[in-house]
Chain A
Amino acid sequence: MDPVLVVFVYGTATALATGLGALPFLFVRHVSPRMVALAEAVAGGLMLGASFGLIVEGTGYGSWQTLAGGAAGVVFILLTQRVLAGRELHVGEARGADARQMILMVIVMTVHSFSEGVAVGVSFGGGTTLAAVITIAIAVHNIPEGLAISAVLRPRGVSVARCAGWSVFSSLPQPAMAVPAFLFVEAFRPALPYGIGFAAGAMIFMVLVELLPEAYEEAPKPAVALLVSLTLIGMVLFQQYL
């Protein structure tokens, strides 16, 4: 098979895997404000753990570039918040702050997938022999990201099917970016630490500015702290064993 097609098919498979993250919510019926807060804590832990992994990877390419990318990620979230703040927002039944957070979450996770797509393409650049291993690793790694998105959307009334749909949507930049990055590895490689830094900065800032403060408002401090720290450690371990 044409290697470009292989990269595209594998990239698409990893995007679809993100949708699996919505599945645990099939078993959750009643949703209280406290549960929204605890789900936000889980999403926050997953995103912080993923970001720590990204920073390790990014600083391997270049510390300054990763940090510059991270700063751009923070600015990006601040600007997006500002743009969304002046509007009447509604997503399904959710309005106001809830709707803003849902939209931000999908935007952040989608934007962060661009640099992941580049990372996939560049790592495939060495040849497609390791492709299957890399693909499985990235597909599995995407599932908790789908879980994070669903943890923000589902408690606010979005159906499980739509949670899965938005999760897959957030990963579509992976196949889209993997192919050009694979074809033009040399051109994309220097951009990688910036992109990885951007993804990490945007996710960490999203956790700090949206998910944590809201979680603290509705749930006891020890519960939030335990969930965030345990899922963070779990996510770091998960990435290490893949």
Chain B
Amino acid sequence: MAQATTSTNNAPVIQAEKVSGPWRDAWRAFRRNKIAMAGLIMIVFFVLIALLAPVIAPYDYKAQELADRLKPPSSEHWFGTDDLGRDLFTRVLYGARISLWVGTFSVVGSIILGTLLGILAGFYGKWVDMIISRMFDILLAFPSILLAIAIVAILGPSLQNALLAIAIVNIPTYGRLVRAKVLGLKNEEYITAARSIGMKDSGILLRHILPNSLTPIIVQGTLGIATAIIEAAALGFLGLGAQPPAPEWGKMLSDSRQFIATAPWTVVFPGVSIMLTVLAFNLMGDGLRDALDPRMKN
């Protein structure tokens, strides 16, 4: 195993440090990756912004100051104002809350359901696998944003429904990933060994299969947050996600697109925010993949 070879090389070092587990080793590898660390720092930064938005924000994100419509960035309004005279800096700060919230929770939702279905399909095989895998195929047959639009159209446009739609759309991604991983793990000798000491299926699933399927889920989940943020922004842009006056970045883009020539700051700041958060999650996801995936180790 790749893990074994990397670690036996520096066995004496580990001995001295005493604490060395698979997760610690991964963290050590991750820390060495500067780009991934940059991603992590950006994410921490955005999370802080989201949490502290009410403290940092100079204005109320709903407060309209019609006299100050479409004001360019100034010391008073750092990012300028929008067509209703709302402070864009404040709105972008609050927007981080929405995007991170939607991104994280939709991914958590898809991971929980996807992992559950994937494990069942991979572990029990036969007709269970047939049914679950065909369900995934059907979901994947639709372009994801189209499917999300359809789901929101049925449920009615709102941020919660957008989140739900994004979660549903992404279930197969995780489901298939976990299923493939479980199929491989099922034939590992330590699974047979666990059976040979009398462990139950449920115990084997929880103690052996699930923890060992975790790494690809973590990697995919991090990258998935980026996708989910974009999808949420897209739904917001189409008017199917967050409803006014919620300061959702995608919604802000669509509200201001008619002023793109006259007041470019109204689209630049929300647009750049989307880009940076997505970039941060992608960088961190790539770094996690390098740190966690044994095939990437040499």
B is bound to A: no
